[in-house]
Structure 1
């Protein structure tokens, strides 16, 4: 279990490095993919709601501390909810198909970004407008859909080689 935590931690740190160092250079219309949200979705699809919740909180906190300029905890809340929701939806999806994970990646990017933007608006973020919120949500959703096969291909062997086991696993 410790090795799995370290492997997921390494995946999250690598994702954060890519998101902060490489993805600002690869923007379309000023928007970039949300790789840490996509990692959360991939883990939740593979391992269920509890793993999605845990990884979502860690990825969101990492996003709050390294990437975003909003209040600490905002991305952690959104990513935790997205990870839990995707994990809970997992039994109802055909995970071995190609389309189901892509649709989930699109919807989670869309709803995660929209949720983050709406919470930012509620907290008085003056740079956020409804038009920007819709444009950003769609752009991030499309980006995440394009990156989903690569991220899922990285998470699949991690889940296979380091399966959930032992006391305290509710998945």
Structure 2
């Protein structure tokens, strides 16, 4: 190779290093953080206080009488092997485990389960019935926490709202 080729190669390497160093930032240097400019013209606080739950003073264990009744009634169905249930006020959250053959037609089972519960429970009950496995696991964990008396009424309400999101079908 001629001297001219080495000069061109050196020039290209130098140009590449200059471009790479211009594009990158120095090691350990963090970009400047800018505080957002927010003007607040009212006398209200920026972060309003959060509302307390209407179940703040509810006893989670005392609320489970309806759940126990619904669980026993659901487990009497021939398609059900086990059930997890939790109740709060007039809302019942229940996830029955069904036999393998029943899993082929879960929609029909859910409808039959709701009708069975409507027939055996008082009329003003709102039934949240699902066969979702994630809902079953979370409901089981909540049931254990209720039995260990580690759940307040407010936390019970909050956790039931998140469990309801796992339930695919709902009435």
TM range (shorter): under 0.3
- Give me the TM-score of the superposition, normalised by structure 2: 0.27
Greater relative contact order (Cα < 8 A, sep 6+): 1
Flag the structure with larger Rg.
2
